[in-house]
Structure 1
Amino acid sequence: MNIEEVKIDTETIQLDQFLKWAGVLGSCGETKALIAERRIKRNGETESARRRQLHDGDVIEVEGLGAWKVVHDEVHEKG
């Protein structure tokens, strides 16, 4: 499986915000629907919370769409 790295400029990001930021889904409501269908995994485990805080190194898989790895980009961190 090909895992695309997605850089974030914060230490954590919510799952629904991450999927929108990465361009995977268009809205947070889509994340909720996919969670209800049990189609989203975080680090290999089925995810149940759309507001789950993701951290550097977490891998998100969306059944039928692909996989993305959270990468904290310290160089461009806000602050």
Structure 2
Amino acid sequence: METFYLKDSEDHIKLGQALKAAGLVESGADAKQAVQDGSVKVNGEIDTRRGRKLRDGDLVEYGGETVRIAVGK
């Protein structure tokens, strides 16, 4: 499991942005498609809201990979 750290000034990141920033997808369009297809899970449940706000401790699963969202190092 990898960890994606939020910037110190942020308390959340949107699901679509997180997929791209964590390297799970190549582009925003790919993130949109993956979320709309129901291929992305947040905390173990399928979530089709690209704008879903992810916060410290949330887990994102896509393509056999899991990323944990955490507050900056």
Q: Does 1:72 align with 2:61?
A: no
The answer to which structure has the higher strand fraction is 1
Structure 2 segments unaligned to the other structure (5+ residues): none
- What residue identity is the alignment partner of 1:50? R
TM-score, length-scaled by structure 1: 0.81
Q: Is the contact between residue 36 and residue 49 of structure 2 (CA under 8 Å) also seen in structure 1?
A: no
**Separation in 2, partners of 1:29, 1:51:** 13
Structure 1 segments unaligned to the other structure (5+ residues): none
Runs of 4+ in 1 over 3 A off after TM superposition: none
TM-score, length-scaled by structure 2: 0.86
Spell out the pairing of 1:38-77 with structure 2 (5 A cutoff).
38-62=38-62, 64-73=63-72
**Separation in 1, partners of 2:6, 2:58:** 12
Which secondary structure state, in structure 1, belongs to the residue aligned with residue 30 of structure 2? helix
C-alpha RMSD of matched pairs (Å):
1.3
Q: How many residues of Structure 1 are paired with residues of Structure 2 in the alignment?
A: 71
Q: Which has the larger radius of gyration?
A: 1
Identity %: 31
- What residue identity is the alignment partner of 1:55? R
